[in-house]
Amino acid sequence: MTYFERTGSNSFRATEHVGGAWNIEEQHIAPAFGLLAHVVECDRDARRDDGLVIGRLSYDILGVLPIGDMDVEVTVLRPGRTIELVEAVLTHSGRAAVRLRAWLMAPGATDTLEATTLPRIAPPDEHEPWDASEVWPGGFIESVEVRRAQVEPGRASFWARSPIPLLADEKVSDLAHAVRLFDISNGMTVRADPKSVAFPNLDLTAHLFAQPQGEWVGFDTTVSFGAGGIGLTSSVLHDIYGPIGTMSQILTVRPST
């Protein structure tokens, strides 16, 4: 079982495990985000061997993505010795569906300066198991184990992991392994019943000051709805060692008529 199968040097096929939450016939975009991060890292490793790391991932969702065949094209927008801006575009049947822009940065030895005041959430074993499929359908949600501490609708901390890899027989970094779960955040502490209010995200931007480690990804998440049809899901990202960065998703909020 995998989320995707590689069908060529730049082409992939989605499996049933990426089935979406808003529409099970379409892809949940989370695994595709992980795939794009992986492709950017593969392109980096094919071009250079100095170990640039990804510090920012900024995704724009340009349209719905059917479960099927896809292609990815990578372009270096801003080359550099210690900093690069790289773009990856995922297309289906010639139509761009997701665009990623990633800043790659040279790592350095700053362990003596390591510090953050971002609050740390409790570890996974101190969160209760929660069956997200009680709220959301689809193959992707079914594939993910969630442990959650709900404070109120729209406010929770939770951990997520999945046994399903991005690709078969292909080494994937801890970063791409984690990113394949990032977009789950918007649905794990809903402010309104998704049967009566739609609130899909149009984008996702993650800023990372540490690279994720381990199988669990932690989220300290707040969901906000404005009065004018726009919402925001904000999260502090964690691995089991503590906070590693922040993430935000802009939402289009659409009450059912």
Alpha-helical (H) ranges within 88-160 are 139-143
User: pLDDT for 70-87, tens place per residue?
Assistant: 999 999 999 999 999 999
Q: CATH fold of 4-106+123-255, please?
A: Porin (2.40.160)
**Separation CA 200–CA 249 (nearest Å):** 9
The DSSP element (H or E) to which 180 belongs, if any, is: none
pLDDT by residue for the chain (257 residues), tens only, comes to: 999 999 999 999 999 999 999 999 999 999 999 999 999 999 999 999 999 999 999 999 999 999 999 999 999 999 999 999 999 999 999 999 999 999 999 999 999 999 999 999 999 999 999 999 999 999 999 999 999 999 999 999 999 999 999 998 899 999 999 999 999 999 999 999 999 999 999 999 999 999 999 999 999 999 999 999 999 999 999 999 999 999 999 999 999 86
| pLDDT tens-place string over residues 35-69 | 999 999 999 999 999 999 999 999 999 999 999 99
Closest CA to 66 of 40, 89, 32: 32
Contact, 140 vs 20, CB < 8 A? Answer: yes
For the beta carbon of residue 109, count every other beta carbon within 10 angstroms. 6
d(CA 83, CA 108): 12
